[in-house]
Amino acid sequence: MNSIGQEYLQTVIRRVKYYKDLGDKTFAQLDDDDFHYRPNDESNSIAIIIRHMAGNMLSRWTRFLTEDGEKEWRQRDDEFGVCSYNKQQLLDSWEKGWDCFLNALQSLDENDLLKTIYIRREALPVIDAINRQLAHYPYHIGQIIYLGKIIRDHDWKNLSIPKNQSQNYNTSDAVKDPAKKFR
């Protein structure tokens, strides 16, 4: 039987893999130019969101337990600038960030959860740093999906329960929690 700490870490890893998968499935539906679509000047493109998430992941999760999560080498403001990266370059950045994040999570054990780490010189327990990212990354993935839906319009392939299909889904024998497939 797992302890609460072990169960928490396993659940976190499953959840973050699920959210990454939603991003991956969105990207599979998009062309190079789609990554740079912005509804207006104040909005971020998918390319910008990817760059920001990757920058955040690399900064926060590189030497997570021993160094401040806001690394001196990170150029956060640059992440929000318009870029000319192609789809493959963006996906490479995306994968690099997620690899760093998931490797850091997988290296933790329950004894690490109450250790103190720092982000921008602010102390917080490891468990809170993880929870912070469990809110931050899905927030941005929701933005990515929303932009993908706008871009693909009627060609969008649904990533969840399609409209008017809730009853069928609820009564089917399928696993209801999609994160369970990431065990």
Q: Establish if 84 belongs to a structural domain.
A: yes
Q: Establish if 30 belongs to a structural domain.
A: yes
Find all residues with CB under 8 Å of 70, minimum gap 6, and list them: 59, 60, 76, 119, 120
What rounded mean pLDDT belongs to the chain?
94
- Check which CATH number belongs to the domain holding 123 and give it: 1.20.120.450
Of 9, 2, 4, the residue nearest 105 (C-alpha): 9
Q: Find the mean pLDDT for residues 78-90.
A: 94
The whole-model pTM stands at 0.93
Q: Establish if 147 belongs to a structural domain.
A: yes
Q: Establish if 177 belongs to a structural domain.
A: no
What are the strands, taking DSSP E only, across the chain? 116-119, 122-125
With a cut of 90, say whether residue 35 has pLDDT above it. yes
Range of the domain at 95: 4-159
Q: Establish if 49 belongs to a structural domain.
A: yes
Q: Establish if 142 belongs to a structural domain.
A: yes
Q: Establish if 179 belongs to a structural domain.
A: no
- Say how many domains are in the chain: 1
Residue 4 to residue 147: CA distance in whole angstroms: 37
Q: Establish if 37 belongs to a structural domain.
A: yes
Note the pLDDT tens digit of each residue in 41-83: 999 999 999 999 999 999 999 999 999 999 999 999 899 998 8
